[in-house]
Structure 1
């Protein structure tokens, strides 16, 4: 489900055009929804979207730079990634308390 579906449906051709432009410039793997979410969260976050005019939305979308969206997506990925998801609790304790491992290494020398 897309947020603000009324506005989204009106500017969908513009979003498709921007996506095609980005693909032609070598930025593949980006979706229309990601471009839309970037606009919602970065460009229009302080605006009341029920009052935004279509020409404002179109102008904003056409003025987007691919690098802006890529940077935004990278930051979103870093913020949502759980860096320790593959590490179990015992491994995490060993990583955070390395003194036990150092003592056993000294005894073996």
Structure 2
């Protein structure tokens, strides 16, 4: 379910138009929900959406640049990725305490 669904439905044609423009510029893989969430999280995070006027919403959507949306999506992806999920406990300990493991390696030689 989309946050602020009533407003989302009102501006859906605008979001579709902006998404088409973005795709014409060679940016694939962006969904309407990505545009909407970007606006909610970055453009309107300090605003009360119950009080925002429809023309402000439309203006904001039309002023979006593909590069800022892509950057936002990349940052979100980096923040949500668990870089160490494939490591076992010993490998994690070695990463966190490399000096201990390096000393034991030199002692063995």
The DSSP-based 3-state class of the residue aligned with 1:37 is helix
Residue 82 of structure 1: aligned partner: 82
Matches within 5 A, 1:1-109: 1-107=1-107, 109=109
Output the CA distance in 1 between the equivalents of 2:102 and 2:44: 53
Structure 1 unaligned residues grouped into runs of 5+: none
Report the Cα offset of residue 107 of structure 1.
4.6
Q: Deviations over 1:62-99 (max 9, x none)?
A: 01000110111111111111111111222101222224
Report the Cα offset of residue 100 of structure 1.
4.4
Q: How many residues align?
A: 109
Pairwise CA RMSD = 1.4
Output the CA distance in 2 between the equivalents of 1:73 and 1:17: 20
**4+ runs of 1 displaced by more than 6 Å?**
none
